[in-house]
Structure 1
Amino acid sequence: SDGEVYVLDGGNARVQVFDREGKFLRKFGNEGRGPGEFRSPAGLALEGGTRLYVGDRGNNRIQVFTLLLTPSVPAEVAAQPKMNEVQLSWKPNPESILEHYKIYRADAPNAEFRFLASTAEPFFVDRGLPSNRAYHYRVSGQAREGNESALSKTVSAVTPRLVPTSPKKMRIDASEKQITLSWMPNLEPFVDHYRVYRTRQVGTGFEQVGKIDRPLFVDGALADEALYYYQVTAVGKEGDESPPGEVVFVTTPRASLTAPPVEIVRIEMREIFASAYKHYESHPLGKVVLRNNTDSPFPPAMLTFSIKDYMDFPTEIAVLEVGPKQESDLLIKPVFNNRILEVTENTPLQSEAALTFYIAGEAKTVKRNFPVTLYERHAMTWDQKIRIGAFVTPKDTPVADFARSVIQPYVDAYPNLHPSLVYARTLYAALGVYGLSYIVDPTSPFQEFSEKAGAVDYVQYPRDTLARKSGDCDDLSILFLAALENIGISTALVDVPGHVFVMFNTGLAEADRQSLGFPDSLLVIHRGTVWVPVEMTMVGSTFTRAWQKGAEEYRDWLAKGKVEIIEVQKAWEQFSPVTLPPTEMRQLKVKQEDIEAKFKDELETLGRQRLTNLSAGYLAALKKTPDDATALAQLGILYGENGMYPEALEQFQKLLAVDKQNAMALNNIGNIYLLQERLDDARQAYEASLKAEPRDTGTMVNLVRVHVRAGRKDEARKVFREAVAEDPRVLRRYGDLAAELGVTK
C-alpha cells in the first residue's frame, strides 16, 4: 500500500510493515482474543489501500483494520498572480490513499492560516480578489479515512493593479460648434469607463469634460474657429486610471451666417461587429437625425449611408417629408459585403451620411462623416447572449464533414438507446479522440469577459477550434453545438455565472421522459421537452462523466436562480450563422474503432443502465401482479430492444398465456424471429397476429418483409397491396418496399 509491504507473521501473531527496500517500519498485533489480537492468523488482504483484512482461524473471525495513513507534504507549491485571482499549483502526491488537498490562506506571512477550500486536483484558483493585495498560501494533503499531512511551505503572491492601457488610435473631427472624438476601445475586461480631458492651451493643463462608457465623445457648444486639445484615459473598475493617450487637436470651423434649410443634426451609431454583419440588414445599426430649419414642410429627399470598402452599395432611405422646425429620425440598416469578414484586427472606420434634396429644380447635397469601430469577426460582447448564433456554423464544410463522417457508422447501431444520446456521445467522444482540450485563453478568459456585459470577448468559430485543437469553455461549447445542429439535433447554450456549457434536445415530450431510461436528475425539462446537459470542458473524458457534470451544474445554478438558456435556433432568428470564406483545411476523420478503443463499452454500459432503470418498475409490477399484461408487454419490448431475445420471448409467451389472441405479443414474437432469421416462425407469428387484428398495416408490412427475405415476392406483393388498400399512406411510408415490389398504387 503506497510503498509499504504488509507481512503476516503468523508464528508471532502479528503483522509487520516494511518499505519496498525491505526496511522494517513498524508492527502491530499480539496473541489473544481481544481487538487487534490473534490466535492463529492465516491470511491477510488489502482493499483500496486503507482497509486490511486479517483472517484468524484460532478466533474464528476476520478482523478489519482501517489504516490511518498520512500523505506526504505537497511539494513544489507555486502561486501565480493574475487579474483578481491567484493560481496555485503543486506537484501531485504519489499516494493512492490521497482523497484531496486542503488550501489555507493568510493575509500576512505571520498571520493565522485559515482553511480556504479543498480540491482533488493539484491546482486551485483563488478568485474574486481585490487588486494590489498580498496573499499567502499553504497546502496539505488529506488521506482517505486517514490523516492530514503537515502544511507545505508558504508561497505568496500580490494581485496586480488593474491599470488599463492608454486608449489608442485617437481620431478627431470638427464640425460646426462641435468636435467628435473616437478611439479604439480598450480590450481589458476590467475597464469601467473613459475620461475625456480638454484644454485650449497645453501649457495650462487639461480639465475633465466628460465621463463615458463608449469610445466616442461629442463635445458641443464650442466656439467658432477655436483650437481645442484633447486627451483620453481609461479607468478600471477599482478606480485605477491609465496614462493619458496621445494629445489630439483640431480647430472648429466658422459657423455659417444662415442655417441651411435642412441639415444632418447628428449621427448615432453603434460599434460594428463583423460576426453580426447579417444582423444589421434587419436591425438598425444606428440612426441619422435630420432637422428642417424652415417654416414649411420640407419636400421629399433621399438619404444615403455608406462605409467605404465594406458596402457594395449605399443604404438609401427615402425622406418623404419633414415638418417645419421638426426633426426626423432615420434608422440605418446597412448591407455589408463579405469583405467585412476578412478584417483581422479591430479597425476605426469613417461612415458617411449624404442628404440630397432639390431647391428650385437644382440638386443640393449635404454630407456628414461619423467615426465607427469595426470589430474583427471573432469579437463579440455578452450583453446579448443570442449573438452566439453567428458563431454556430453547422454548414461550414470542416464541421459538416467531421460530424457526418463520425456519425455514419452509428446510425441505427444502438436501437436500445435514444438516437440523440448515441449521436451526442459519438461526437463528444470523437472530439476527445481527435485531441481536443480545454485551455483558458489568457487574453480573453470567458469568466472575466462574461461578467462585464460590454467587454469585447474573442470567440473562436468551430473551424478555428478544430484547427487549434483547444479552446475556452465557450469555444468548445460552440463547436459541439454546431456539430449537433449539423446532424439535426436542436441545441442550447446554458449560461451560468462565469461559465457556459451545452444541452441538446432529445425531442421527447416531458410526459414521455421515462422512455429515455435515465433519472430525472440527469435531465432538463425545457419548454415541454427533455434536454440533456453536457459539460464540454471535460472533453477527453467519457461522455457519461460530462453528462453527469453538466446535470450537476445545472441543478446547482438553477437552485440559485442563475441559469439562462440560449436556444441556438432562436438565436439564429436575429444572428444568422456567418458565411465563412472557403478553407483549405483538410477533412478531419476519426474512426469508430479508435472511439470505441478509447471509450470501451460506454454505449453498452449506458444501454445496461437504461435497461436496469426501465425494467425495475415492470419487474416490481410483475412481482405484485404476475399476469400484468402491460408490464409483460413493456418488459418484452425492452428486452428485445437490448438484444435479449430469449428473455423477450419469455415475456411475450407469458402474455399469450394470459391473452391467447394478443396481437401485439404475436407481432413482437414475429419481430424477434425475424431478427434471428427464423423466417418461417416469423411468418406464422405475423399471420397469427393478423388473425387477431386483420387491419393492422404495421403487421402486414412485417409479413411482407418476411416474404421478401424468403424470396416469395408474389406473396409479398399481394400482402403489400392489401396494406395499401387499408391505408394509402403505407405506399409513401414504405417507399423502399413499394419500389422493390413494383407497387405504385
Structure 2
Amino acid sequence: MKGFLGFILSAILSASVFSQDAEKAIKRMTQPDVMVVVDEYVDGSFVGTRAIAVSIENELLKEGFKVIDYHMFENLRAKELEASEGNPEKAREYSNRFGAEIIILGYAQAEYGGETEFYDVKQHKYTGQVDIKIIYAETGELIGSVTASDRRFGQDKKGAVNALFKSLASKVTKNVISKLKERMKEEEQARKIEIAVYGISPSKALALESKLKDAISSVKALKYKFFDTNVLVFDAIISSEEQLRRELANYGELKIVKLTPRRVTLSPPEMEREAKSTATEGILDIVDFSIPPIFPSQYSFYAYNPIGQLTVENPTNREIRNVKISILIPDYMKVPSEKVVSVIKPNSKEQITVPVTFDIKSLLKLNENVIAQAQAKVTYTSGGKVEERSLSKPVTIYNRNSISWRIPESVCSFVTPNDGVVKEFARVVLGSVKLPETNLPRNVINAIVIYNAVRTYGIKYVSDPWKVAGGEILDNVYFPRELLYYKTGDCDDHAILLASLLESVGIRTAFILTSDHIFLIFDTGVPKKNAYLVSFNPGDYIIYDGSVWLPIETTLINESFTTAWKTGAEEYYKLGGLDKIGALEVKEGIIFKSGNIYIIDVHRGWKVFPPVDVEGLPGPQTKPDISLVSSSVLKDLDMFKESYRQTLTEMINTLGSKGDEVSINKIAKILVLFDRYDDAEKYVSKFSGAVTYNSLGNIYFLKNEPSKAFEFYKKSIELDPNDGGVYLNAGLLFYLNDEPETAQEFFELAISKFKTPEEAYEVLGIEDILREFEGVAAEKKDVSKKQVSKEELKKLIEEASKVSTQQSKKGKEYKKEEIFEKGQNVFVFGGRRGADPTQLQTVKSLLYWKF
C-alpha cells in the first residue's frame, strides 16, 4: 500500500477531503471513458512496460477524464486496435467490449545506439520514437495524432531505455490531452438533437446510421439510443439546425414528420401519415443515464444511497403522472430497483436517483473487473396507453477486493467481526491460551493474545500492486477470512484482520490513515484518567472518546506486540498526531483529523458501510498453533511489564530531578497507585501548599483515616477556595463513609466552581466516573457493610449537577465555612470511623489530584 497511497492521499489530504460527493462523481461521469494502449519495443522486441501509457493515464485523471482499467485489456495490442480507425463497426466493437468512448493507441521504439564516453564514464545510448493516434470509438474517426522522438544515455542499457521512454512520454502527453480537450470543446459547441425514425426495425439500425451520416453532412456524430414502439431513436450532434432541415428536405428516402429544437422525427414516405399521428403524442424520454463504477464491498451502501442518476424529459404541455423508474443490472441484481415519481411537470426535465439492491453472492464471485450493462426503464401511461422507454449503459463492476482510497471510510465494510471464521479464530485462542495472574487491563491482555495468534500464523507481508481504473486509483484489500486462507497481505490487510478479530471480542478499533500508510488503534477500555494503568509515558497512547487507545504498526506483525505498539505510537506522534483525537470532525463523524493524519472510526463507519457477509468465501485451512501462541504471549507479557517498569522509572527520575512541590506530589501519586502510602507521605511532608494538603487528604482517605483526610482537604481549600476538585474528593470521602446527603452537597459545591457542569466533568474527570458506571445496575448491598453502589454514586453526581446549575441561575453561593462545619464532627468513634476497607480500591481511580 505504501507508495500508491502517497500518490492519491497527498492530493486528498491537502484539500482536507477524502471522498467525492455524488454531484462531483456524476459531473466526472460526463467525461468520456478512455482506454490507452501504447506498445513499447526495445531493439525490436515487445516489452511489458507501460511508461508512456501510464503517463498519459495520469494526466487524463488530473483533467477529469475516466480511464479504463488496463487489466481489462492487458493482452490487447495496438496493432489490433488500429483496425478501428475509419471502421465504425470495428470501433464500436471495442466500445461495447470495454466501454471505451475514446481509444488512444500507439507504438514506442527504442533502438540501441552503442557506447560512448563522457568524462571517462561509459554511457549507453538509445534513440527512439513514439507515434500516438486518438480515435473516436463510436465512429472510428481519427481525432488526431502525435509524434515525438529523442535520445537518452545511461550507465546501463535499462537506465537509458527508462530515461528515453520517460522523455517520450513527457513530450506527447500534453499534446494528446490538448487534442482531446479540443475535440470535447467542439462537441460542446455543436448542437445535440435526437433523430427518431418511424417504421424502421432495430436490425436495420447500423445500416441506417451509416447512410444518414454519409448523406447528411450536418450530422457530425450519430449514436443509437433506443428502440420503442416502431421508433428507432438516435442521439446526434449537428453543426446547424437550418442545414440539417435543408439536407433532410432534399433526402428522398425519409420525410420530416416533425421538427422541434430537441428532436426531428422522420419516416419513409409511405408511412408519413401514420408517423405523424404517433409523433403528435406526448413522449417521456430518457435524456441521460449515468452510473459510476460499482464496488462489491459497498453493496449495502448502494441499497440506501443512490449511486446513479437518470434524467427524464417531459416535452409536452401536460403533466405526466405516476412514472415508474426501474434500474436492472442483469446477473448482479435479482430484481430491478424501482421508484415511482408522482408527477413530471410540462416542458421540464427531472433528475431521478434510485438506490440499487445487488445480489451479494454474485458480486463476491468476481475475481476480476467486469463490464456489465445497466438497464434503465421508464414506464408511464399516456392517453390510456402504457408507454415504456428504456436505455442501457455499460458500467464497470470492480472485483470483490477493490477499494478506492478516495472513499477511505469504505474500508470499514471489510471489517467482519461476525464472520464465523473470525469469531472462531479469536475465541479459540482466547479460550485456549493459559495466562499468568496479571493486573494488566483485560482489553490489553486479549489484544496481546490475538496479535500473537496472527503473528504466529505465518502470514507473509506482500505489497499489492495499485492500478488505475475508471478514474479511480484502486487497491486490493482481502477480507479477513481470505487473508487467513491465502496467508499473504500488506498493511491494510493485516490492519483489517486485527480489527475484525478485536471487534469480535468486544474491543473497539479505528484506523490511522497517513499520506501513504494505514495502521490500527484499539480501545484499552481504560478511562483517560487512569492512563497510568497502561503506561506512564503519554507518548505511548492516544486519548480518544474518553479512553486510552494503543496504536499498532501492522507491518511489524512478525515482531513483538510491544515493538509494534511502540513503533505505531512513535509514527503517530512523529506525523503530528494529537494526544487527544477529535479536534476536527470530517465526513459526519466517521473520519477525524488529528494533526496531519486522519482517524477512521470503525463503529461509525459501519453506519454507512456495514460489514459484508462473506460466509461463501474460502476460509483458513489451518488453525492457530496454541502452544506457539502461548509461548509468544508469555514473552510479550514480560516485555509489556518491562516497558511499564521503564516508563515508571523514567517518570520518577524526571520528576525527582525537578524537585518542586508539584513534581514531588506527582511522585507521591505514583506511590499511592502502588499502595505505598507511608512512602508517599514522606515524599511530600516538607511542603505545605494547597497541592500537598490535597495529596495528604487522598493519602489518609486511602489509609482509611477519614478525620485526618477531611482536615487536610479543609486546609487545601483554605489556601485555594476555588478548586472544585478538592470538594469532589471530600464528597467521595463522605459518600464512602455512608453520608450520601453530605456527599451530594460537596458534589454540588465542586460543580459550582465551574461555568458549566460539562466543564466540571471534563476537568475533574467526572465524565470518566459516569462513563465507568454507565449502564451498571444498582448493586445488592451486604447489610453488615457499607458497599460502594456505582449506580447510587452516579445518581448523586447527576443530581448534584442539576442542583448546582439551578442555584447558579438563582445567584446563590455556598459558604465553605458552613459545609465544612457541617462535616466537622461526622467521623466519630475516637476520630476514626472508616469505610469498609474492601471498597477503598474502588474509588482510588476517582480521586482528584491537584496538578
- CA drift of 1:525 comes to 4.0
In structure 1, what is the equivalent of residue 806 of structure 2? none
Change in Cα spacing, 1:199 to 1:617, as seen in structure 2 (3 Å) is closer
Q: Is the 8 A contact 1:341 1:580 kept in 2?
A: no
2:495 is the alignment partner of 1:477: yes
The yes-or-no answer on 1:319 pairing with 2:337 is no
Q: In 2 relative to 1, CA 158–195 (structure 1 residues): closer, same or farther, beyond 3 Å?
A: closer
Give the alignment of 1:331-370 within 5 angstroms. Answer: 331-344=353-366, 345-370=368-393
Mean CA deviation greater in 630-639 or 318-327? 630-639
Q: Give the 3 Å change call, closer, same or farther, for CA 303–553 of structure 1 in structure 2.
A: same
Distance 1:249 1:330, change over 3 A: closer
Residue 374 (structure 1) aligns with: 397
Partner of 1:594: 628
Deviation at 1:416, TM superposition (A): 3.1
TM (norm. structure 1) is 0.56
Contact 1:436/1:469 (CA < 8 Å) preserved in 2?
Answer: yes
Aligned to 1:289: 311
The 5-angstrom pairing of residues 553-592 of structure 1 reads 553-558=571-576, 562-582=596-616, 585=619, 589-590=623-624
SS in 1 for 2:575: helix
User: d(CA) in 2 for partners of 1:228 and 1:523?
Assistant: 73
Aligned residue in 2 for 1:392: 415
Assess if the C-alpha contact under 8 Å between 2:402 and 2:477 holds in 1: yes
Which sections of structure 2, spanning at least 5 residues, go unmatched? 7-38, 55-69, 106-131, 146-178, 198-207, 214-221, 227-231, 235-264, 267-278, 578-593, 686-695, 706-732, 741-779, 794-851
**Compared CA separation, residues 617 and 572, structure 1 to 2 (3 A):** same
> Against the structure 1 CA distance between its residues 197 and 495, is the aligned structure 2 distance closer, same or farther, given a 3 Å change threshold?
same
User: Relative to 1, partners in 2 of residues 1:567 and 1:530: Cα closer, same or farther, differing over 3 Å?
Assistant: same
SS in 2 for 1:266: strand
SS in structure 2 at match of 1:299: strand
Q: Distance in 1 between matches of 2:627 and 2:679?
A: 35
Counterpart amino acid of 1:457? D
Pick from 152, 163, 171 the counterpart of residue 53 of structure 2: 163
Distance 2:621 2:526 in 1: 33
Question: 2:480: which partner in 1?
Answer: 462
Counterpart among 184, 197, 215 of residue 136 in structure 2: 197
Question: For 1:718 and 1:510, how far apart are their aligned partners in 2?
Answer: 29
Shift of residue 631 of structure 1?
7.0
Paired residues for 1:530-569 under 5 Å: 530-558=548-576, 562-569=596-603
1:619-649 CA-partner distances (Å, limit 9, x unpaired) = 88899799x9987985566447xxxxxxx59
Q: SS of the counterpart of 2:608?
A: coil
CA contact (8 A) 1:294 1:325 kept: yes
Change (3 A) 1:401 1:321: same
Tell me by how many angstroms 1:261 deviates: 2.4
Q: Does the 8 Å contact 2:481/2:618 carry over to 1?
A: no
Q: CA deviation at 1:576?
A: 0.8
Give 1:508 shift. 4.4
2:332 to 307, 310, 326: 310
Q: Call closer, same or farther: CA 1:660–1:390 in 2, change over 3 Å.
A: closer
Is the contact made by 1:226 and 1:251 (CA closer than 8 Å) also made in structure 2? no
Q: CA shift at 1:598, angstroms?
A: 3.7
**TM-aligned CA deviation for residue 600 of structure 1:** 5.2
Extract unaligned runs of 5+ from structure 1.
1-81, 86-130, 135-156, 231-247, 641-647, 668-689, 698-716, 731-745
Q: Which runs of 4+ in 1 moved over 6 A?
A: 157-160, 248-252, 618-626, 628-633, 652-655, 657-661, 724-730
Aligned counterparts, 1:543-692, within 5 A = 543-558=561-576, 562-582=596-616, 585=619, 589-590=623-624, 593-598=627-632, 601-614=635-648, 634-635=669-670, 638-639=673-674, 662=700, 664-665=702-703
User: C-alpha distance in 1, partners of 2:789/2:601?
Assistant: 42
Displacement of 1:580? 0.9
1-side partners of 2:596 and 2:670: how far apart? 40
Q: Is the 8 A contact 1:402 1:588 kept in 2?
A: no
Task: Give the conservation status (yes or no) of the 8 Å contact 2:414–2:496.
Answer: yes
Higher RCO structure, 1 or 2 (CA under 8 Å, sep 6+): 2
CA distance in structure 1 between the aligned counterparts of 2:558 and 2:634, rounded to whole angstroms: 13
Query: Retained in 2: the 8 A contact 1:619–1:631?
Result: no
Deviations 1:246-290 (A, max 9, x none): xx9979946645374211111111111111110011111111111
Residue type of the partner of 1:320? S
Contact kept? 2:557, 2:564, Cα under 8 Å: yes
Aligned residues of 1:381 and 1:453 also touching (Cα < 8 A): no
1:434 Cα deviation (Å)? 1.2
Q: CA deviation at 1:595?
A: 2.9
Identity of aligned residues (%): 23
Match for residue 278 of structure 1?
300
Residue 485 of structure 2 aligns to a residue whose secondary structure is helix
Counterpart residue number, 1:418: 441
Deviation at 1:199, TM superposition (A): 7.4
Deviation at 1:506, TM superposition (A): 3.0
1:227 aligns with 2:210: yes
Instruction: Give SS of 2:472's match.
Output: coil
- Determine the C-alpha separation between the residues in 2 that align with 1:162 and 1:414: 62
What CA RMSD, in Å, does the superposition of the two structures yield over aligned residues? 5.4
Q: 1:517 to 1:462 in 2, by over 3 A?
A: same
Tell me how far apart the structure 2 counterparts of residues 651 and 461 of structure 1 sit (CA, whole Å): 54
5 Å-filtered alignment, 1:261-272, equals 261-272=283-294
Residue correspondence of structure 1 range 726-745 to structure 2 within 5 A: none
Aligned to 2:170: none
Q: Which has a greater percent of strand?
A: 1
Residue 471 of structure 2 is aligned to residue 437 of structure 1: no
Using the TM superposition, give the Cα deviation of residue 403 of structure 1 relative to its aligned residue in structure 2, in angstroms: 1.5
Shift of 1:497: 2.4
Q: Distance in 1 between matches of 2:699 and 2:496?
A: 53
Change (3 A) 1:514 1:718: closer
CA–CA distance in structure 2, aligned partners of residues 474 and 565 of structure 1: 14
For 1:357-394, what per-residue CA distance to the aligned partner results, in whole angstroms no more than 9, with x for missing partners? 22233322222222222222111211110110111111
> Residue type matched to 1:161 in 2?
A
Q: Secondary structure at the match of 2:371?
A: strand
Matching residue's letter, 2:454: L
Deviation of 1:207 (Å) = 5.0
Partner of 1:329: 351
What count of residue pairs does the alignment treat as equivalent?
A: 501
Deviations 1:141-172 (A, max 9, x none): xxxxxxxxxxxxxxxx99872436596499x9
- How far did residue 553 of structure 1 move? 2.2
Distance 1:229 1:550, change over 3 A: farther
Tell me the distance in 1 between the aligned counterparts of 2:607 and 2:133.
34
Q: Give the match for residue 695 of structure 1.
A: 738
User: Shift in Å at residue 346 of structure 1?
Assistant: 1.9
**2:479–2:497 CA contact under 8 A, matched in 1:** yes
Is 2:523 the counterpart of 1:505?
yes
TM-superposed CA distance for 1:460, in Å, is 0.7
Structure holding more helix per residue: 2
> Is the alpha carbon distance of 1:721 and 1:162 closer, same or farther for their aligned partners in structure 2, counting shifts above 3 Å?
farther
The one-letter amino acid of 1:287's match is Q
Superposed CA deviations along residues 515-545 of structure 1, whole A, max 9, x for unmatched, are: 4324222223446543322211111111122
- SS for the counterpart of 1:513 is helix
Query: 2:325 corresponds to which letter in structure 1?
Result: L
Q: Matches of 2:305 and 2:700 in 1, distance apart?
A: 61
Deviation track 1:459-517 (CA, whole Å, cap 9, x = no partner) reads: 11111111122201111111111112222222222222222222223344555434432
